[in-house]
Chain A
Amino acid sequence: MRDAERRLGLGIAALLCFAVAVMAQRTLDRNYFRNTGDELLYLPSERLLTHFTAGFDSVLADLLWIQCIQYVAKEAKGERGFTWLRHMLELVTRLDPYFVDAYRYGGIFLAALKADDRASLSLLERGMERNPDAWALPYEAAMVYLLNRRDWSQSRVLASHYLAMSAATGRAPAYVVDVAAKLQGQYDLIPIEEEMWATLAHQGQGFMREMAQQKLKEVEVRKACRILTSHVQRYRREVGKDPETLHDLVARGYLAALPSAPLPGEFIIDTNGEVKHTFLVEEQIREALEVLRNAIQTFHQTYGEYPKNLDELVRAKILQVIPPHPLAAKMWTYDPERGMVE
């Protein structure tokens, strides 16, 4: 009996010690939270890392991939810097070169969230080299050309080329062939983009689904902007001047009511008569700035100095066109001393 009591006492003591440890951990987390963002700074070079994994390359790739998803989700809801995204993806795919979904979703993250089409294409092309049977990689490369590089002169030709590659794997689903056919027949990219995000929203999980749903909302707002712009143009033709606000369209009976957008912000009429949504304008400004900053960085790495003006990025063939400011009356301001664009 005494032995049983002693054992019970020890068991309770052990549980108490465990409770104290949990409580201490919670207190540390709550009161002494350490920003873990900088820990990514210590990720080693992928070239070195592969030699020191003791054969656990693919498990490390899985763990890094999970950390990468968490990093992307955190950045997407926070600062949207994505500073370490490319490096993390390089590490994951170097550790496991057959990890098709890391190339695929990594390419989407880089293109759609970081607006770094160059890095996205580089990652996808590397993935295609290692996994020539993966239909999704050329398909995503085609999407980068269609969505991120839509203003480039050869974008449709190159997108068609990648879609043909995707179809040639013999494993691509029917909608890839549909997109290729649409690309041949019409020039409206919105349905193609809508289809791409709808597929991801349907197939994806967790953060990927959230991102695709957000993108679908953006597509919906863009469609609404397009309809409103056509009403503004009609107003201009019939009344002889631009409406001052969109409420004028309702007052004149062009619209029964203003459409409600599934995103925060409001519809505005730009100085050129196009209807835009403030949320999308902010997004476009962020993306365009990201493209410009990446290009300036590439120029600086190549030539050791900042370009004297933004047109120099086109002359150096880093960009094919300078992304225009989403608001017609506004221009980018560029400081060649510091290589800063605002």
Chain B
Amino acid sequence: MRVVAVAQNTLRESVRDRVLYVLLFFAAATILGSKAVGRISIGQDIKIVKDFSLASLSLFGVLVAIFVGTNLVYKEIDKKTLYTILARPMHRWEFVLGKFCGLLALLALVTLGMACVSVAYVYILGGTVTVTYGYAVILIFAKLAVVTALALTLSTVTAPVVGAIMAFCLYLLGHATGIFLDLPPQLKGSFTETLFRVLYYVIPNLSNFDIRAEAANDVPVAFGYVFWALGYGLGWTCFFLILAVLAFEDKDV
């Protein structure tokens, strides 16, 4: 119940954040403007609208998760509002979980809203979407959950700017983990190969959540893949949340 109360407050507070509306404006502009890009693509306008819609869903969602997420706990400490909250009979883990759930609820609203706009736009332009498009939106949301948990963890240990930079770097690295397995043959069997293989598993592989090419081209994706990707996302989200709780419990406030 206390978690829900914190989550509700966080959602209310995040909705008031002006950064959110700036990002939403750019997301909507990208989705609606993608038709203009598609005009010079030899009949690929619907595919391009789908591609740009899913990309803006992902990009602007990540920006919201990072910029709002890295501020979540830090702002409470900075404004000293945290003391009044912690003075109540509330565990610190409840506070962290509430913050996370609040931001995730905001991201769910943003993702759902933008997905509805993009699907409506595709239909208005005469295109259709398949179930893969729905899967792609769900996996984007799963990715946002991982990034939010990561941002929240960083919010408990660093200042927002440093946290945002670190989260963004990890986000980029998370899409490039494939390179750790794509090594030149001369490294086969070496220590470097072992090290890179370890890194491959230590850094969250965010490309697991990208089935946007399949969605834009109406290529079917097995439900099993979506299921396991969601499981992967859940694993990493819980991992980061536990780290956030541990860091926050050790924090001297």
For B179, give its contact among A51, A54, A70 (CB under 8 Å). A51
Prevailing SS type, chain B contact patch:
helix
Minimum CB–CB distance from B226 to chain A (whole Å) comes to: 16
A66 in contact with B178 (CB, 8 Å): no
B51 in contact with A207 (CB, 8 Å): no
Interface assignment of B203: CB less than 8 Å from any CB of chain A: no
- Taking CB atoms and an 8 Å cut-off, the chain B residues in 167-198 that contact chain A are 171-172, 175-176, 178-179, 182
Q: How many angstroms from the CA of A131 to the CA of B214 in the assembled complex?
A: 11
Query: What residues of A have a CB within 8 angstroms of the CB of B206 in the complex?
Result: 55
Interface assignment of B48: CB less than 8 Å from any CB of chain A: yes
Stretch at the interface among A9-17, A99-107, A213-221: A99-107
For B51, give its contact among A52, A58, A97, A208 (CB under 8 Å). A58
Minimum CB–CB distance from A57 to chain B (whole Å) comes to: 6
Interface assignment of B130: CB less than 8 Å from any CB of chain A: no
Convert A201-215 into 0s and 1s, putting 1 for each residue whose CB lies closer than 8 angstroms to a CB of B. 001111110000000
A66 in contact with B41 (CB, 8 Å): yes
- Taking CB atoms and an 8 Å cut-off, the chain A residues in 38-82 that contact chain B are 47, 50-59, 61-63, 65-66, 69-70
Q: How many angstroms from the CA of A51 to the CA of B182 in the assembled complex?
A: 9
Interface assignment of B42: CB less than 8 Å from any CB of chain A: yes
A65 in contact with B213 (CB, 8 Å): no
For A58, give its contact among B37, B42, B213 (CB under 8 Å). B213
Q: How many angstroms from the CA of A203 to the CA of B44 in the assembled complex?
A: 12
Q: A205-B42, A208-B42 are in contact. Are A96 and B171 (CB under 8 A)?
A: no
B217 in contact with A52 (CB, 8 Å): no
Q: How many angstroms from the CA of A313 to the CA of B212 in the assembled complex?
A: 44
Interface assignment of A332: CB less than 8 Å from any CB of chain B: no
Minimum CB–CB distance from A104 to chain B (whole Å) comes to: 10
A206 in contact with B51 (CB, 8 Å): no
Please, which residue of chain B has its CB at the minimum distance from the CB of A134? B217
A58 in contact with B44 (CB, 8 Å): no
Minimum CB–CB distance from A97 to chain B (whole Å) comes to: 7
Convert B48-77 into 0s and 1s, putting 1 for each residue whose CB lies closer than 8 angstroms to a CB of A. 100110110011000000000000000000
Interface assignment of A98: CB less than 8 Å from any CB of chain B: yes
Interface size range on A against B: 20 to 34
For A98, give its contact among B58, B178, B210, B213 (CB under 8 Å). B213
Interface assignment of B224: CB less than 8 Å from any CB of chain A: no
Query: What residues of B have a CB within 8 angstroms of the CB of A65 in the complex?
Result: 41, 44
Minimum CB–CB distance from A252 to chain B (whole Å) comes to: 48
Please, which residue of chain B has its CB at the minimum distance from the CB of A52? B176
Query: What residues of B have a CB within 8 angstroms of the CB of A105 in the complex?
Result: 42
Q: How many angstroms from the CA of A62 to the CA of B51 in the assembled complex?
A: 8
B217 in contact with A59 (CB, 8 Å): no
For A55, give its contact among B52, B58, B179, B217 (CB under 8 Å). B58
Q: How many angstroms from the CA of A69 to the CA of B39 in the assembled complex?
A: 12
Minimum CB–CB distance from A108 to chain B (whole Å) comes to: 10
Q: A52-B176, A58-B55 are in contact. Are A69 and B42 (CB under 8 A)?
A: yes
Q: How many angstroms from the CA of A97 to the CA of B210 in the assembled complex?
A: 13
B217 in contact with A204 (CB, 8 Å): no
Q: A51-B179, A57-B213, A96-B217 are in contact. Are A205 and B43 (CB under 8 A)?
A: yes
Interface assignment of B47: CB less than 8 Å from any CB of chain A: yes
Minimum CB–CB distance from B128 to chain A (whole Å) comes to: 16
Minimum CB–CB distance from A208 to chain B (whole Å) comes to: 5
Q: How many angstroms from the CA of A52 to the CA of B219 in the assembled complex?
A: 23
Query: What residues of B have a CB within 8 angstroms of the CB of A62 in the complex?
Result: 37, 41, 44, 47-48, 51-52
A55 in contact with B213 (CB, 8 Å): no
Q: How many angstroms from the CA of A117 to the CA of B49 in the assembled complex?
A: 32
Interface assignment of B222: CB less than 8 Å from any CB of chain A: no
B37 in contact with A66 (CB, 8 Å): yes
A55 in contact with B210 (CB, 8 Å): yes
Please, which residue of chain A has its CB at the minimum distance from the CB of B44? A101
Please, which residue of chain A has its CB at the minimum distance from the CB of B171? A54
**Residue among A54, A105, A131 with the highest chain B CB neighbour number at 10 A:** A54
B179 in contact with A58 (CB, 8 Å): no
Query: What residues of B have a CB within 8 angstroms of the CB of A70 in the complex?
Result: 40
Minimum CB–CB distance from B206 to chain A (whole Å) comes to: 6
| 9 CB-based A-B contacts, threshold 8 Å | A50-B178, A52-B172, A55-B212, A58-B216, A59-B55, A61-B213, A62-B41, A98-B214, A206-B42
**Among all A-B residue pairs, the 9 with the closest Cβ atoms:** A98-B217, A58-B213, A51-B179, A59-B55, A55-B175, A51-B176, A96-B213, A55-B210, A58-B51
Apart from A51-B178, A58-B54, A204-B42, what are 17 other A-B pairs with CB-CB below 8 Å? A51-B182, A55-B175, A55-B206, A55-B207, A56-B55, A58-B51, A58-B212, A58-B213, A62-B47, A62-B52, A66-B37, A69-B40, A69-B42, A95-B213, A96-B217, A101-B42, A206-B42
